[in-house]
């Protein structure tokens, strides 16, 4: 990851919170938004890890800070997880992602979200998630399944099968409720 790509990711993440960019907005988000602070250190540590000169110096400090914030806020997303730009974590608290998950751009993670691995059966593996997906509070996504673009996973839903684009799903196990997509759930997307 080059610095320009790192900056694009941070700008996209920042824009999701306030719909604007700039140093004052960055400082406000860093000081007020636990999700943005955590995401910043996760991405910064990943950036430093890929540079030979910083891998054994600054990276160690960034990794420690990422770990410390994860413990403080109850968020567990391993450094290097494939997450697109525009990640929005609205509230901290018990957010867990498996390191093998592929998460598209402009996704929203609410408190209590778990995206994990299944170790047996037809859907053994980790999820692949499209762009613009909203995960409601307490939702669980498990197994080698595909979540389509602009989908909405309702609060406390348990998803164990594939979800189509623009699908709205809820329940245990999750069933399709509508095709209304993420309108009104995923806002402030930075246009390239």
* Residue 38 sits in the same domain as residue 113: no
Domain holding 136, by residue range, is: 94-184
* Residue 105 sits in the same domain as residue 68: no
Q: Do β-strands 114-116 and 75-76 pair in parallel, antiparallel, or remain unpaired? A: unpaired
Q: Is residue 24 one of the residues assigned to a domain?
A: yes
pLDDT at residue 103, as a whole number: 96
In whole angstroms, what is the distance from residue 61 CA to residue 45 CA? 8
- The length of the chain, given as a count of residues: 192
pLDDT digits (tens, 9 = 90+) for 121-158: 888 899 999 999 999 999 999 999 999 999 999 999 99
In the block, which residue shows the tokens 């110096």? 57
pLDDT reading at 40 higher than 70? yes
pLDDT digits (tens, 9 = 90+) for 69-119: 999 999 999 999 999 999 999 888 899 999 999 999 999 999 999 999 988
* Residue 98 sits in the same domain as residue 49: no
Q: Is residue 134 one of the residues assigned to a domain?
A: yes
* Residue 67 sits in the same domain as residue 125: no
In whole angstroms, what is the distance from residue 189 CA to residue 106 CA? 7
pLDDT at residue 192, as a whole number: 65
* Residue 45 sits in the same domain as residue 98: no
Share of the chain above pLDDT 90, in %: 83
Instruction: Please report which helix (H) or strand (E) contains residue 142, including its range.
Output: strand 140-142
Q: Is residue 87 one of the residues assigned to a domain?
A: no
In the block, which residue shows the tokens 């996504």? 141
Rounded mean pLDDT, 36-65: 92
Strand order in the sheet with 102-103: 82-83, 102-103, 128-129, 146-147
pLDDT at residue 52, as a whole number: 82
Please say whether the beta carbons of 130 and 152 come within 8 A.
Answer: no
The strand ranges marked E within 34-85 are 75-76, 82-83
Q: Is residue 139 one of the residues assigned to a domain?
A: yes
pLDDT reading at 60 higher than 90? yes
Q: Is residue 85 one of the residues assigned to a domain?
A: no
Could you tell me the CATH number of the domain that includes residue 168?
2.160.10.10
* Residue 119 sits in the same domain as residue 163: yes
- Reading the block at residue 161, the tokens are 């099968």
pLDDT reading at 23 higher than 90? yes
Statement: the pTM of the whole predicted model exceeds 0.75: yes
Q: Is residue 191 one of the residues assigned to a domain?
A: no
pLDDT at residue 100, as a whole number: 93
Split into its structural domains, the chain has a count of 2
* Residue 98 sits in the same domain as residue 174: yes
Q: Is residue 125 one of the residues assigned to a domain?
A: yes
Domain boundary among 9, 44, 76: 76
């Amino acid at each position: 990851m080059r610095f320009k790509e790192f900056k694009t990711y941070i700008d996209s993440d920042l824009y999701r919170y306030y719909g604007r960019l700039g140093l004052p907005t960055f400082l406000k988000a860093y000081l007020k938004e636990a999700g943005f602070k955590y995401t910043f250190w996760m991405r910064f540590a990943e950036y430093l890890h890929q540079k030979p000169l910083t891998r054994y110096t600054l990276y160690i400090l960034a990794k420690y800070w990422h770990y410390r914030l994860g413990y403080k806020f109850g968020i567990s997303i391993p450094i290097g997880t494939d997450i697109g730009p525009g990640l929005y974590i609205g509230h901290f608290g018990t957010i867990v992602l498996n390191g093998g998950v592929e998460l598209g751009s402009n996704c929203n993670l609410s408190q209590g979200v778990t995206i994990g691995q299944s170790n047996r059966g037809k859907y053994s593996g980790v999820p692949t998630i499209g762009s613009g997906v909203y995960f409601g509070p307490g939702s669980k996504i498990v197994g080698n399944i595909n979540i389509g673009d602009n989908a909405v996973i309702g609060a406390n839903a348990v998803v164990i099968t594939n979800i189509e684009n623009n699908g709205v799903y809820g329940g245990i196990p999750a069933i399709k409720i509508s095709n209304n997509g993420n309108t009104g759930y995923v806002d402030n997307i930075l246009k390239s």
